[in-house]
Chains A and B, each alone.
Chain A
Amino acid sequence: MSHASISMRQDKAAKQSLGRDPRMMVLRLRTLIALFILVVIFAFTAPAFLTTGNIIILVKQVALNAILGIGMTFVILTGGIDLSVGSIVGLAGMIAGGLITEGLILPMFGVSIFFNIPLVIAFTLIVGMVVGLLNGLIITKLNVTPFIATLGMLYMARSAALLRSNGATFPNLVGSDLLGNTGFPAIGAGTLMGLPWAIWIMVVFIFIASFVAARTPFGRQVYAVGGNERAAELSGVRVNRVKILAYMISGFCAAVVGLIITSQLVAAHPATGNSYELNAIAVVVLGGASLSGGRGSILGTIIGAFVIGVLNNGMVLIGLSEFVQTGITGFVIVAAVVLDQSQQRLQRQLALQQATAQVLDTQQGKEVA
Chain B
Amino acid sequence: MSAQAPISPDEILLQAKQVTKVYPGTVALKNVDFNIYRGKVNVLIGENGAGKTTLMKILAGVEQASSGQLLMDGKEIHVSSPRDANRHGIGIIYQELNLYPNLSVSENIFMSHELTRFGTIREKDQYAIARDLMRRLEQDIDPNTIVGDLRIGQQQIIEIAKALAQNVRILIMDEPTSALSNIEVEVLFRIIRELKTQDVAIVYISHKLDELLQIGDYFTVLRDGALVAETHAGAINLNWIVEKMVGRRADSLFKHSEHKIEQEILQVNDLTLPRVGGGYVVDHVSFSLRAGEVVGIYGLMGAGRTELLESLMGLNSEARGAIILNGRNIAGLDIKSRIALGLSLVPEDRQLRGLIQKLSVSHNITLASLSRYLRMLALSSRLERASVRYEIDELRIKVANPDDLISSLSGGNQQKVVVGKSLLTNPKVLMLDEPTRGIDVAAKGEIFEIINQLALNGLGVLFVSSELKEVMAMADRVLVMWKGCITAELQKHEISQEAIAAASVGTQTSPETNTTQEAIR
Contacts and interface: CB of A to CB of B under 8 A. Distances in A.
Interface of A: 3-4, 7, 10-11, 14-15, 18, 211, 215-217, 220-221, 223-224, 226-228, 230-238, 294-295, 351-352, 354-356, 358-360
Contact of A359 (B20, B355, B363): B20
A232 B367 contact: yes
Interface stretch (B69-77, B121-129, B198-206, B345-353): B345-353
A148 B207 CA distance: 47
6 contacts: A220-B379, A227-B358, A228-B355, A235-B421, A294-B356, A352-B24
Would you list the 5 A-B pairs with minimal beta carbon distance, nearest first?
A227-B356, A294-B358, A235-B368, A227-B358, A351-B24
Contacts of B191: none
Contacts of B358: 223, 226-228, 294-295
Contacts of B335: 233-234, 236
A296 to B, nearest CB: 10
A353 B358 CA distance: 23
Given A227-B356, A231-B352, A360-B66, 18 more contacts: A3-B30, A3-B224, A7-B27, A217-B374, A223-B359, A223-B363, A224-B359, A226-B358, A227-B357, A227-B358, A230-B353, A234-B315, A234-B354, A294-B359, A351-B24, A355-B22, A356-B66, A360-B20
A11 B356 contact: no
Interface string B217-255: 000000010100000000000000000000000000000
Interface string B304-344: 00000000010100000000000000000011100110000
B20 A217 contact: no
Contacts of A295: 358
Contacts of A359: 20, 22, 27, 66
Contacts of A236: 335-336, 339-340, 368, 425
Contacts of B353: 230-231, 234
B367 A238 contact: no
Given A3-B226, A217-B371, A355-B25, A15 B379 contact: no
Contacts of B421: 235
Contact of B313 (A3, A230, A234, A352): A234
A224 B421 CA distance: 14
B444 to A, nearest CB: 22
Nearest to A218: B370
B182 interface: no
Interface string B4-32: 00000000000000001011111100100
- Which of B23, B356, B368 is the most central at the interface, judged by chain A CB atoms within 10 Å of its CB? B356
Given A228-B357, A236-B335, A216 B379 contact: yes
B401 interface: yes
A339 B278 CA distance: 52
B386 interface: no
A236 B370 CA distance: 10
B457 interface: no
Contacts of B66: 352, 356, 359-360
Nearest to B384: A220
Contacts of B276: none
B378 interface: yes
Nearest to B425: A236
How extensive is the interface on chain B, given as a class? Answer: 35 or more
Contacts of A354: 24
B26 A227 contact: no
A351 B400 CA distance: 14
A220 B24 contact: no
Given A220-B379, A221-B370, A359-B20, A238 B334 contact: yes
B156 to A, nearest CB: 19
Contacts of A355: 22-25
A216 B377 contact: yes
B378 A211 contact: yes
Contacts of B340: 236
Interface string B159-195: 0000000000000000000000000000000000000
A231 B313 CA distance: 13
A131 to B, nearest CB: 26
A360 B20 CA distance: 9
A367 to B, nearest CB: 12
Contacts of B345: 234
B419 to A, nearest CB: 13
Interface string B400-422: 11000000000000000000010
Contacts of B514: none
Contact of A15 (B25, B67, B336, B355): B25
B203 to A, nearest CB: 25
Nearest to A18: B24
A11 B313 CA distance: 41
A230 B352 contact: yes
A173 B226 CA distance: 76
A227 B23 CA distance: 24
A7 to B, nearest CB: 5
Interface in B100-128: none
Contacts of B370: 217, 220-221
Given A216-B377, A220-B363, A231 B354 contact: yes
B24 A15 contact: yes
Given A216-B377, A220-B370, A356-B66, A232 B25 contact: no
A38 B347 CA distance: 50
Contacts of B334: 238
Nearest to B381: A215
A309 B175 CA distance: 53
Contacts of B363: 220, 223-224
A356 B367 contact: no
Nearest to B225: A7
B150 to A, nearest CB: 16
A232 B20 contact: no
A124 B379 CA distance: 32
A238 B336 contact: yes
Nearest to A219: B379
A228 B356 contact: yes
B428 to A, nearest CB: 15
B352 A14 contact: no
Nearest to B21: A356
A46 B379 CA distance: 46
B356 A352 contact: no
Contacts of A238: 334, 336
Contacts of A237: 336, 367
Contacts of A226: 358
A289 to B, nearest CB: 12
B401 A15 contact: yes
A11 B400 contact: yes
Contacts of B336: 236-238
A77 to B, nearest CB: 10
Interface string B509-521: 0000000000000
A233 B338 CA distance: 12
